[in-house]
Amino acid sequence: MEDPDLIRDQTLRQIAAAASPDALEQIRVAVLGRRGRLTEQMKDLATLASGERKARGAALNAARDAISQAIEDRKRALDAAQLERRLAAERLDVTLPARPEPQGRIHPISQTLDECIAIFANMGFRVAEGPDIEDDFHNFTALNFPPEHPARLMHDTFFFPPRPDGTRMLLRTHTSPVQVRTMMSQRPPIRVVVPGRTYRCDSDMTHTPMFHQIEGLVIDRTTHMGHLKGCLIEFVKSFFEIDAVPVRFRPSFFPFTEPSAEVDIGCSRAGGELRIGAGAEWLEILGCGMVHPNVLKNCGIDPEEHQGFAWGMGVERIAMLKYGIPDLRTFYESDLRWLRHYGFAALDIPSLAGGLAR
Ligand code: DAH
């Protein structure tokens, strides 16, 4: 017969030294299991006389309770320590910036359009959009292109095969048809910018069959050519982030505006490097004018009551100027090295307050 206190003391020491829940379980089985050291002592109780059995039974029960309690306490401590270690190992500082940076880049065209939209939105313009596949009415007729007028030919239009009624849909040659759609669906005052893709059957150093424009339209009762100039000069300064860009309005012709102008900005090509804002050369960036009364009429707006201005700008051209991209065709080659070099970080969203491009 073993002394219950001895069993208890020895077991408590083992429990205190147990380094893992597994080791603890082994101790429990060895002492309290079916063939455990203490269990065996309990079995022998039956052979004792009743007085002795009672005293020894109580001592054995006390030893068992003490051991069970110690195992439970030790287990809790070991579990807590294990959790602590895991938490420490898996510790993560969620306030750190994302690293490595996301791999994708924003294409310079998307970036440039977002910058233009940010500037015009700040002046109170809304974004309007229209379909890439247009009909003759919206792309030409409503915009005051007479039938057989040479300006239609100048647009190098991609036509779809004729429909049963003989008419042909086309890929819009400019964003101007969205002017028509906007005026036919909204009442003045109107103030919209129209970013989008445009198409012409033309491909060389300075032309791609698909390119982008951003169109603007203002219609109300009082807007005049002075407002047009102020608006576009302000845009050029904001976009190029140079206060002293020379801007020149040169008389021109478009069927849908009267008077019409083209806008050039001053630049220099000294040393083979194109620089904006200084030097003796001019670069055309957009066409504009006062909306022609016929266009207003075609769209159901009375030109005796309403007037306004419009412009259309080539997005690739201003992107090349601002970001020093020398070759137009590289925009659409999807060369990853080019995209990494000229692309923009996805989280740098252009805004006038936060900066247009970083
Ligand atoms: N749609 C013209 C083009 O593609 C550009 C343009 C010129 C748009 C004058 C306008 C404008 O809205 O007023 O060449």
Q: What is the DSSP string of 206-263?
A: TB-SEEEEEEEEEEESS--HHHHHHHHHHHHHHHHT-TT--EEEEEEEETTEEEEEEE
Say if residue 358's pLDDT is above 60. Answer: no
Q: What is the pTM of this model?
A: 0.72
Kindly indicate the confidence band of residue 101, based on its pLDDT and cuts at 50, 70 and 90.
low
Kindly list the domain boundaries of the chain, sorted by start residue. Answer: 4-89, 106-345
Using the atom order of ligand 1, give the atom closest to the CA of residue 175. Answer: 1
190-228 per-position pLDDT tens digit:
999 999 999 999 888 888 999 999 999 999 999 999 999
Choosing from 134, 152, 176 the residue with most ligand 1 atoms within 8 A of its CB, the one to mutate for a pocket test is 176
Q: Is the CB of 215 under 6 A from ligand 1?
A: yes
Q: Cβ distance 127 to 195 under 8 Å?
A: yes
Q: Which of 113-127, 157-171, 292-306 has the lowest mean pLDDT?
A: 157-171
Residue 169 reports pLDDT greater than 70: yes
| E runs forming strands in the chain | 126-127, 133-134, 170-171, 190-199, 210-220, 247-254, 257-268, 275-276, 281-291, 307-314
Q: How far is the CA of 254 from the centre of ligand 1 (A)?
A: 7
Asked whether 174 lines ligand 1 (CB < 6 A), one says yes
Return the closest-CA partner of residue 324 out of 312, 336, 311, 338: 338
Q: How confident is the model at residue 107 (pLDDT cuts 50, 70, 90)?
A: very high
Q: How far is the CA of 287 from the centre of ligand 1 (A)?
A: 5
Q: What is the pLDDT of residue 277?
A: 78
Residue nearest to atom 7 of ligand 1 (CA): 287
pLDDT of residue 171: 96
Angle of helix 108-122 versus helix 315-323 axis, rounded to 10:
100
182 Cβ below 6 A of ligand 1: no
Backbone phi, then psi, for 109, in 5-degree steps? -70, -45
Q: Distance, CA 176 to ligand 1 centroid (Å)?
A: 6
| Å from CA of 322 to ligand 1 middle | 21
Q: Dig out the tokens for 220 from the structure.
A: 């109300």
Q: Is the pLDDT of residue 96 over 60?
A: yes
11 Cβ inside 6 Å of ligand 1:
no
Among 214, 300, 293, 205, residue whose Cα is nearest residue 257:
293
The tens digit of pLDDT for each residue in 7-41 reads: 999 999 999 999 998 999 999 999 999 999 999 99
Strand 257-268 with 281-291, pairing: antiparallel
List pLDDT tens digits, range 267-298: 887 776 667 877 788 889 999 999 999 999 99
Architecture of domain 106-345: 2-Layer Sandwich (3.30)
Decide: 255 in ligand 1 pocket, CB within 6 A.
no
